Amino acid sequence: MKNWKVIAWLMLFFPLGLYYMYTYSNWPKKTMHVITGIYAGMVILASLAGILFEVGVLSGVSLLMTSLGLLANNIYKKSQKNRSLILLGSSILLIGISATNIDVVEPDVQVASETVEAETKKNDEKLLEKATEAVEVAEEDPTQSNIEIAYDLVGQLKGDSTQLKERLEAVEKNLLAAEQLEEFLEELALAEEDPTRSHLESLEKKESDIGELDEEYLVRLEKVRGEVEAQEKLLLLAEEAINTAETEPNRQNYEAAVTALSSVQTNQTALSTKLDAVKGTVESQEALAKQEAEAKAAAEEKAKAEENQKAVEEESSAPEQATPDKPTSEAALLNFLNTASQSELQAVSYIGPKRSAYIVEYRQANGPFTHSSQVTNVNQIGEGIYSNLLEMFN
């Protein structure tokens, strides 16, 4: 057989072509092995691709056409028809076997595909049921973890999940509003305990984030705003009072600053520190003034004692003087001490200007003398002067 016929059979129906190649060709064995390997690889690839029987049908059709051509040529030349009939039968058999298997495979593939679709649909329905349940749980218990679980399941859905997403968005919006309201109420409680400008500004920002608030919360917020404004006014007055106390540190200014600062409810560490410094200054000044007053009193007491001593010495060394003609009884002296004016007292010996003034002061402070000896209780009048007076009135 010629080489071109072998090549033709390899192209038309390779199993027969391989038979003719090994039987009639004189090609090198290496070449024949390579050709055999190529066709074996094609068969394997066709089998893996699931088109092996389709290739069989095509090969059978090619063999059928070739055998019909050979049979017609044998009839025309009146030669033997055995080989042509064998090829014809082989082609019909090949087509029949391949076509039958194709019909068998296609229903199996269809059944498998329908099974996969049914399983997929069932899984999708289960996933939809789980996602719906997760959304309902998030609506009943709107926590961040429940919302995230529901979002994860809804995101896995292949169909239209717009309605579930809208429900989740509503839950998330309500959760955010609830969290914002909770933060607002916490800040409101702090502001009510400590009404400062910073708390008020934080409250107003949270109010703008929330939008509408219940009337109860608006009333509380307005109350905090009024307290903050009032505290700021009191704080300004306290600062002014403390500045005055720093400029003029005395007890009165310090007490006024303490009163002003005590009316401020918020903690004012800096002002308290200033006030403590003023207190120290005032106490130092008062301690110094007390020392000076005590020293002055001691000096006055000392001077008074020295003056009394001098007066006593003067009385003991003074000569006896003629006394005016007065009553000589003790009653007369008592009457004179209670009724005489300062000028009349001053005219009497041993009394003089200072003692007359002391006698008048004593009468004004203690009332009339009840006994003439009480005159010794008067400053700068001792027993010696009293004895001289008695002698003068005897």
Q: What is the pLDDT of residues 158-197, one digit of tens each?
A: 878 888 888 888 998 888 888 888 888 998 898 888 888 8
Out of 93-97, 105-109, 230-234, least confident range: 105-109
Number of domains in the chain: 2
Phi, psi of 351 (to 5 degrees): -105, -65
Per cent of the chain over pLDDT 90 is 5
pLDDT digit string (tens) for 133-154? 988 898 898 888 888 898 898 8
Give how far the C-alpha of residue 27 lies from the chain's centroid of Cα atoms, to the nearest Å.
90
CA 335 vs CA 329, 355, 369, 371: distances in Å: 10, 17, 9, 9
- Which of 53, 85, 112 terminates a domain? The answer is 112
C-beta separation of 321 from 349 below 8 A: yes
- Which of 50, 85, 112 terminates a domain? The answer is 112
The residues, ordered by sequence, that sit 6+ positions from 295 with a Cβ below 8 Å of its Cβ are none
CA 345 vs CA 309, 328, 356: distances in Å: 22, 16, 5
pLDDT at residue 273, as a whole number: 92
How would residue 2 be classed by pLDDT, with cut points 50, 70 and 90?
low
**C-alpha to C-alpha distance for 98 and 103, rounded to whole angstroms:** 9
Q: Closest Cα partner for 257 from 268, 267, 244?
A: 244
Task: Give the mean model confidence (pLDDT) for residues 358-373.
Answer: 89
C-beta separation of 245 from 278 below 8 A: yes
pLDDT at residue 59, as a whole number: 67
Per the domain annotation, does 206 fall within a domain? no
pLDDT at residue 323, as a whole number: 44
Task: Give the mean model confidence (pLDDT) for residues 219-240.
Answer: 88
How would residue 330 be classed by pLDDT, with cut points 50, 70 and 90?
confident
Task: Give the mean model confidence (pLDDT) for residues 207-227.
Answer: 86
Q: Tell me the CATH number at 355.
A: 1.10.150.280
pLDDT digit string (tens) for 270-324? 888 988 999 999 989 889 988 988 888 888 888 877 777 777 676 566 554 444 4
First to last CA, the chain: 198
Per the domain annotation, does 209 fall within a domain? no
What's the whole-number average pLDDT of the chain?
A: 80
Per the domain annotation, does 360 fall within a domain? yes
Per the domain annotation, does 126 fall within a domain? no
Per the domain annotation, does 373 fall within a domain? yes
**C-alpha to C-alpha distance for 55 and 44, rounded to whole angstroms:** 12
Per the domain annotation, does 23 fall within a domain? yes
Task: Give the mean model confidence (pLDDT) for residues 66-80.
Answer: 71
Per the domain annotation, does 161 fall within a domain? no
How would residue 325 be classed by pLDDT, with cut points 50, 70 and 90?
very low
Residue type, position 192, single letter: E
Per the domain annotation, does 154 fall within a domain? no
Angle between helical axes of 269-317 and 215-247 (0-180°, round to 10): 40
Q: Which residue has the tokens 């199993």?
A: 15
- Which of 112, 131, 158 terminates a domain? The answer is 112
**C-alpha to C-alpha distance for 95 and 61, rounded to whole angstroms:** 7
Task: Give the mean model confidence (pLDDT) for residues 213-229.
Answer: 88
pTM: 0.38
C-beta separation of 188 from 217 below 8 A: yes
DSSP helix, strand, coil percent of the chain (3-state; round to 5): 85, 0, 15
pLDDT at residue 281, as a whole number: 92
Quick count: other Cβ atoms within 10 Å of Cβ 318?
A: 13
What range defines the domain where residue 355 resides?
Answer: 322-393
